[in-house]
């Protein structure tokens, strides 16, 4: 490998090494803790564990299949664009309609995104609408789903087009160090989007209003205050217009951070159960997972861009291209980043599951209500058609959270350990 490529690969190697080391250390610690934990009563486990419903298993199997098909379709489209004349023709078309480099890049990017969305629309409609309707999880009409798809495309264009045009302007202005400046700009964009999403993007899809249950609102805001996570308030979202699924989350940062409960959650969960869910979400902010995620994402982008410099150099040296700053190299860049994201996804999911387990324990420590926690898990499994016991391989590859069954086992271990300490 050339010396320059080795240097560009170094940040990624360091990042992967640090992540792997951290995950290995955490895994060993968890095994030691489980070995010391008291044995779970088999009868208690049997009562707490939800049945593995055939409908939920069928739904999740279809979701796994559509996920892999979606990945293959997206990467396949980018691979098809690698025939060098296709990007060049699109760039030449953009040049005829836009004189400045920035407008040309914007037109190229928007056309590429619109074309990709049009090609994948039938598959998205089947997986995102027809499957959800067939399993009773969606209440949307086809027209409503299409309207949301159009909004999603508009949001994607509004973010990706100026971001891509800006990135290629940086590449042309600083061809040797663009990956450094580009990664910094990407991190700033992530922070900005996290800040504005609750007040600009989310209301495009759902209606939000202050939580009408004043007693619950006071309890949740007080819980956030106890956790040292200030929020602007608690809100409810009208998910029931579109879905039967339930959720609760913290969104935003700083002056936009807020508690959000879906009305589908409010309709079927007790205050204790909702408090447990929120305590889990507060754990992410208490432990700085959002901040750490942005930092790790920035480092990953830095490493990815550093290695992608070689990809762009090779792509830009082909006949008909004007260099690495040629917008026609965008499909090559997107294919490389897409492949890297797919390959690294299991590692990212493993780290996410570590954080989710940490927040589950935080929720139990904060609320001291394992029964409410287990009740939440059972209800969510039934309402969202989650498979409580997927295969270990599928969980390792695809799950950002531990499975419902593993989360219930963790709660039972916590219960047994604290009962033993109380004796």
Q: Could you report the per-residue pLDDT of 260-307, keeping only the tens digit for each?
A: 999 999 999 999 999 999 999 999 999 999 999 999 999 999 999 999
Residues 113, 160 contacting (CB under 8 angstroms) = yes
Q: How far apart are CA 385 and CA 131, in angstroms?
A: 12
pLDDT value at residue 197: 95
- On the question of pLDDT at 422 being above 90, the answer is no
Q: Residue range 324-335: average pLDDT?
A: 95
Q: State the pTM of this model.
A: 0.88
Query: Is the C-alpha dihedral spanning 282, 288, 291, 294 positive or negative?
Result: negative
Mean pLDDT of 307-311: 94
Position 6 pLDDT exceeds 60: no
Q: Which residues 6+ apart lie within 8 Å of 240 measured at CB?
A: 139, 262, 263, 264, 267
Q: What angle do CA 373, 272, 226 make, to 5 degrees?
A: 95
Residue 8 scores a pLDDT above 60: no
pLDDT at 45 over 80: no
- Please check whether residue 172 is in contact with residue 325, taking contact to mean a CB–CB distance below 8 angstroms: yes
Q: What are residue 243's phi and psi, to 5 degrees? A: -150, 160
Residue 423 has pLDDT above 60, yes or no: no
pLDDT band at 397 (very low <50, low <70, confident <90, very high): very high
Which of 10-19, 123-132, 163-172, 196-205 bottoms out in mean pLDDT, i.e. has the lowest?
Answer: 10-19
Per-chain mean pLDDT for the chain: 90
Cα distance between residue 299 and residue 293, in whole Å: 10
Confidence of residue 13 (pLDDT cuts 50, 70, 90): low
- The span from the CA of 1 to the CA of 211, in Å, is 58
Sheet of strand 234-237: strand arrangement: 208-210, 234-237, 258-262, 248-251
Structure tokens at 341: 């994201």
Other beta carbons within 10 angstroms of residue 29's beta carbon come to: 10
Quickly tell me which residue has 């992967």 as its tokens.
16
Confidence of residue 81 (pLDDT cuts 50, 70, 90): confident
The mean pLDDT value for 174-186 works out to 94
Higher pLDDT: 367 or 9? It is 367
pLDDT at 36: 61
How confident is residue 1, by pLDDT bands cut at 50, 70 and 90? very low
Distance from C-alpha of 209 to C-alpha of 213, rounded to nearest angstrom: 11
Q: Give the whole-angstrom CA distance, residue 377 versus residue 386.
A: 10
Q: What is the mean pLDDT of residues 20-46?
A: 66
How large a percentage of the chain has pLDDT more than 90?
A: 83
Cross-strand bridge partners of residue 243: 138
Taking the domains of the chain in order of start, what are their residue ranges? 3-207+283-422
Residue pair 297/149 in contact by the 8 Å Cβ criterion: no
Residue 163 in tokens: 């971001």
Predicted local distance difference test score (pLDDT) of residue 82: 82
CA 84 to CA 96: how far, in whole Å?
A: 19
Least confident span in 71-85, 211-225, 292-306, 338-352: 71-85
> What pLDDT is stored for residue 25 in this prediction?
64
Tell me whether residue 312 is exposed, middle or buried, using C-beta atoms within 10 angstroms of its C-beta: 0 to 12, 13 to 18, 19 or more.
buried
pLDDT of residue 29: 64
Q: What's the pLDDT at 330? A: 96
Reported as a single tens digit per residue, the pLDDT across 232-245 is: 999 999 999 999 99
Q: What is d(CA 209, CA 232) in angstroms, rounded to the nearest whole number?
A: 12
417 — pLDDT class (breaks 50, 70, 90): confident
- Would you state the pLDDT for residue 12? 54
Query: Residue 26 has what pLDDT?
Result: 58
């Amino acid at each position: 490998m050339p010396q320059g490529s080795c240097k560009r690969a170094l940040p990624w190697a360091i990042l992967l090494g640090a992540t792997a080391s951290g995950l290995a250390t955490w895994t060993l610690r968890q095994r030691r803790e489980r070995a010391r934990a008291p044995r779970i009563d088999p009868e208690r486990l049997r009562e707490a564990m939800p049945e593995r419903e055939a409908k939920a298993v069928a739904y999740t199997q279809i979701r796994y299949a559509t996920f892999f098909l979606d990945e293959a379709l997206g990467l396949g489209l980018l691979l098809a664009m690698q025939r060098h004349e296709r990007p060049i023709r699109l760039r030449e078309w953009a040049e005829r309609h836009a004189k400045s480099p920035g407008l040309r890049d914007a037109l190229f990017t928007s056309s590429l995104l619109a074309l990709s969305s049009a090609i994948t629309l039938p598959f998205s409609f089947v997986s995102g609408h027809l499957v959800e309707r067939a399993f009773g999880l969606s209440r949307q009409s086809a027209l409503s789903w299409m309207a949301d798809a159009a909004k999603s495309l508009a949001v994607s264009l509004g973010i990706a087009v100026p971001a891509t045009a800006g990135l290629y302007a940086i590449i042309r202005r600083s061809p040797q160090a663009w990956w450094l400046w580009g990664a910094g700009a990407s991190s700033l964009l992530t922070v900005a989007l996290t800040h504005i999403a609750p007040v600009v993007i989310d209301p495009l899809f759902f209606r939000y209003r202050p939580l009408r249950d004043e007693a619950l609102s006071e309890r949740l805001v007080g819980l956030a205050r106890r956790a040292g996570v200030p929020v602007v308030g608690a809100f409810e979202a009208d998910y029931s217009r579109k879905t039967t699924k339930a959720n609760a989350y913290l969104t935003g940062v700083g002056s936009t951070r807020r508690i959000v409960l879906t009305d589908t959650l409010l309709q079927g969960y007790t205050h204790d159960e909702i408090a447990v869910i929120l305590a889990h979400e507060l754990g992410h902010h208490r432990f700085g997972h959002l901040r750490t995620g942005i930092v790790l994402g920035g480092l990953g982008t830095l490493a990815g861009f550093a290695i992608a410099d070689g990809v762009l150099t090779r792509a830009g040296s082909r006949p008909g291209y004007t260099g690495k700053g040629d917008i026609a190299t965008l499909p090559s860049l997107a294919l490389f980043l897409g492949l890297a994201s797919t390959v690294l996804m299991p590692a990212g999911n493993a780290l996410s599951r570590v954080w989710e387990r940490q927040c589950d324990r935080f929720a139990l420590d904060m609320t001291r209500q394992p029964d409410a926690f287990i009740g939440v898990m059972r209800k969510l499994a039934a309402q969202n058609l989650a498979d409580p016991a997927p295969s270990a391989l599928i969980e390792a590859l695809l799950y950002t959270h531990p499975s419902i069954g593993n989360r219930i086992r963790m709660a039972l271990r916590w219960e047994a350990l604290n009962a033993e300490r109380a004796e």
